[in-house]
Amino acid sequence: MTKSCSKTTWVNWGRWLLPLVAFAVVFALARFSAPLYHAPIVQVTALTSSHRQAVVDNFGNHDVTVTQHVTARWLNTKRRGQHVQLTNQYTKSGAVDSPVAKGQQLFVTHGSRTWQVSDHKRDGVVLGLFAMTLTLLLLVMRRRFWLTAASIGLNTLLFWAALHIEVASHQELAFVLFAALAVAFTVATTLFITRWTWLTVVVSTSTILATAAAVLIGYTVFAATGYRGIHLETVKYVTQAPQLLFFVQVIIGSLGAVMDECADIAVALFQLPGPARARFNAGLSIGRNVMGPLIAVLFMLFIAETLTEAVLWLRNGNAISTTVAWVMGLGFAQSLVSAFGIVLAVPLTSGLAAWLAKEVRA
C-alpha cells in the first residue's frame, strides 16, 4: 500500500521534469540539423590562440577587443568533415559580436582572404524552449491546451496571410488590412473562448469598440499636441509610414489584453442574477481589479525591450532626459494608448453585458 502510494507520488512529481526532457531532446536533435541548411555551418573543435587589446572610446569607456583563432570542422556543404581555420573578433561588451567556445555551431562567411564567423546557430535553443513551453502548458492546461493551441495557430495563419497580402500590395492597404486583421483576430479568438453564444457578440463588440476608441483618443492627442515629444522616426525596422506601423503595433499589441478582460467581465456578468444596474456595477468592480495588472503586463513587455538601447545611449554621452524621450518614449506612448483600451473596455463590456443578459433572458 505505502509502496504504491510513494510510486504515484514519484510519478506525480516526476512529470514536472518532462518539460526539461523535451528541451534536452529537441536541443540535442538540432545539433544534427546542419545538412538542412544551404548556408555553410561549422562546429568549433579547438581554440588555438587569442589576442587581447584594451581600448578606450571618446567617452572614456574602457573595453577590450579580442581576436580568437579557431579550428572548426565543416558540418555541411561539399567540405563536410574537413577542418578549417577561422578568426572571430569581439569586444568584451558584446554589442554586436560575441566570443565563440568549443562545441558551438556557427554560420561562417568567406571574407577577403579567410573564413570568418558570421553568426551563431540558434535553432536548437529556440525550438527546445518552444518544446519545453508546450510540454509545460500541456501539463498545466490538459484538454484546454488543444483549444488554445488551435486558436493561436489559427491567428498565426491569419497574421502570416495578412503580411503577405500587405507586402504584395506595396503597403498601400496597410491600415485597412491591419484593421480587418484585428477584427478577424478578435472574432476568431473570441469564438474559441466563448463558443457561439451571446457572449461572443458582447466580447468581440466591446473589444473592437474599446480598441478603436483608444486609437481615436491617442490619435487626437497626437494631433492636438502636434506630435511634440513623439519621435516617430524611432519606430524600428520601418522604412515608410512609421506612424501607421505605430498604430498597428498598438492595436495588435493590446488586442489580447483587452479581449481577456472583456471575456472575464462578460462571463461573470452572464452568470449573475439581478437587475441590469446591479450587473453593471458588478462588472465595473471586476474590471477595476484586473485593469491595473493587465496594463502592467504590456508596459513591462514593451519597456523591457528598450533597455539595451537606452544603456547604449547613456554610455554614448546622452543626457538621461534625452535618452528617456528618444529611446523609451515610443514604448511609453504605446503602453499609454494600450492602457486607454484596457480602461475603456471595463464600462463598455459591463454595459453591453448587463443590457444583453436582460434581453437574452426576456
Partner 1 sequence: MNAIFLLGLVLLGLMLLVGGAQGISNFLALLANTLLMILAVILMAGGFAPVGVAVVIGLLVLAVTIFMSTSHVQVATTAFVAALLVMAGVVVLVVGGTWLSHTAGFGPEDAEELEGYSLAIGVNFEQIAMASGLLGTLGAIAEAACAVAADVGELGAAATPAALRAVQETIIGTALNTLFFGFFGGFSALFIWFTQLHYPWLQVLNDQLFVGELIQVLFAVIAVALTVPITIWVAKRRA
Which parts of 40-59 interact with partner 1 (CB under 8 A)? 55, 57-59
- Which stretch, 2-10, 44-52, 78-86, 337-345, contacts partner 1 (CB under 8 A)? 337-345
Question: Which residue bears the cell 498598438?
Answer: 250
Residues 30 and 27: their CA atoms lie apart, in Å, by: 5
The dihedral region occupied by 231, where left means phi > 0, alpha psi between -120 and 50, and beta the remainder, is: beta
- Which stretch, 44-52, 68-76, 151-159, 353-361, contacts partner 1 (CB under 8 A)? 151-159
Interaction between residue 5 and partner 1 (CB under 8 A): no
Strands 41-56 and 115-120: unpaired
Interaction between residue 172 and partner 1 (CB under 8 A): no
Closest CA to 333 of 206, 164, 166, 218: 218
Q: Which of 17, 150, 163, 278 binds partner 1 (CB under 8 A)?
A: 163
CB neighbour list of residue 316: distance below 8 Å, 6 or more residues apart: 59
Interaction between residue 68 and partner 1 (CB under 8 A): no
Interaction between residue 26 and partner 1 (CB under 8 A): no
Interaction between residue 191 and partner 1 (CB under 8 A): no
| Closer of 199 and 361 to partner 1 (Cβ) | 199
- Which stretch, 42-50, 69-77, 159-167, 352-360, contacts partner 1 (CB under 8 A)? 159-167
Residues 184 and 206: their CA atoms lie apart, in Å, by: 14
Interaction between residue 307 and partner 1 (CB under 8 A): yes
Q: Which of 9, 278, 292, 319 binds partner 1 (CB under 8 A)?
A: 292
- Which stretch, 5-13, 66-74, 196-204, 280-288, contacts partner 1 (CB under 8 A)? 280-288
Question: Which residue bears the cell 518532462?
Answer: 18
Which parts of 340-359 interact with partner 1 (CB under 8 A)? 340, 343-344, 346-347
Which parts of 197-256 interact with partner 1 (CB under 8 A)? 217-218, 221-222, 224-225, 227-230, 235-238, 245, 248-256
In order of 33, 194, 265, 292, the CA distances from 204 in angstroms are: 43, 10, 13, 21
Interaction between residue 108 and partner 1 (CB under 8 A): no
Residues 135 and 78: their CA atoms lie apart, in Å, by: 38
Which parts of 116-145 interact with partner 1 (CB under 8 A)? 119-123, 125-127, 129-130, 132-133, 136-137, 140-144
132 sits in which H/E element: helix 123-141
Interaction between residue 294 and partner 1 (CB under 8 A): yes
Taking residue 304's Cβ as centre, other Cβ atoms within 10 Å add up to 10
CB neighbour list of residue 194: distance below 8 Å, 6 or more residues apart: 200, 203, 263, 266, 267
Count of residues binding partner 1 (CB under 8 A)? 128
Q: Find out whether 212 and 337 touch, Cβ atoms under 8 Å.
A: no
SS3 at position 26: helix
| Closer of 277 and 361 to partner 1 (Cβ) | 277
- Which stretch, 43-51, 71-79, 109-117, 317-325, contacts partner 1 (CB under 8 A)? 317-325
Interaction between residue 95 and partner 1 (CB under 8 A): yes
- Which stretch, 7-15, 73-81, 302-310, 354-362, contacts partner 1 (CB under 8 A)? 302-310
Residues 313 and 322: their CA atoms lie apart, in Å, by: 9
| Closer of 31 and 359 to partner 1 (Cβ) | 31
| Closer of 10 and 146 to partner 1 (Cβ) | 146
310 sits in which H/E element: helix 307-315
Tell whether the torsion through CA atoms of 256, 261, 263 and 264 is positive or negative. Answer: positive
Q: Find the shortest distance in angstroms from Cβ 259 to partner 1.
A: 6
Interaction between residue 32 and partner 1 (CB under 8 A): no
